[in-house]
Structure 1
Amino acid sequence: MSAVAGGCPFCAVAAGELPAATVFSDGVVAAFLDTRPVFKGHVLVVPHAHVETLADLPPEAVGPYFTRVQAVAVAVEKGLGAAGTFVAMNNRISQSVPHLHTHVVPRNPKDGLRGFFWPRTKYADDAEAADYASRVRDALGEV
């Protein structure tokens, strides 16, 4: 059964069955741009294995998963010239897709993000999304 038929869009993206502006993919994670970003360059890092929450991630997978999250956070800063990142995860509450995912959001002073209110933006088109993904992907090679 395909990941799409199984109903999980993140599994489908990780399997290459749904298109995404992919930043990175290996045997552990897939990292791709959020289609409703808080700020442009907002990346989601998901494990290839379908687990719903951090508690469901096997202990031996926690280190490899977060090593990749760390690398993506560094790449978002380098690739986008961001002053920092906001790295966050929801478990069940406010988790729009029931598949573990970590948000890596580029941050800059006075960017308007306050507390936990996450306004969303859009990419002008697929080419703009591809440009942001390429910049982060290129910076990953430097991490």
Structure 2
Amino acid sequence: MTTRIIGQYDDGVTFGQRRVLLVWNRLILPGGGSIVLERLPGADASGYAGLEDGVDYHWWDLMKAAGLSTLLAVGTELATSDENRLIRAIRDGAQDTVNQAGQQIVQRQLQVAPTLTIRPGFPVRIIVTRDLVFKPTGG
């Protein structure tokens, strides 16, 4: 039987973030005992805080949103030069609305946080920032 460790990660990922931040809460020892770790920081094999592995910034979705916004803007710009004032007013109003909708689609896509993925078995470290007291084992 091996020692298990319980921790948690910060799911508040922001745009541009590449590392998953994590803390360790408890060690469960082979004999059934446990040690409270009180949120000791997790680090990668080099000692840097958090873990960096797979990052998906969703660029393809952003490009699709920008393309849709461009198509909407181009569509509202197409008009004949001999249209009357009522049709021109309707077109101008629709153009503003469609342009704003396209901008909102792009802005919404810019707010999507990247997806950070850590593969199973990825090397991880516990940065011990305080004394840990282990009870002697019988043996």
Normalised by the size of structure 2, how large is the TM-score? 0.24
Q: Which has the higher strand share?
A: 2
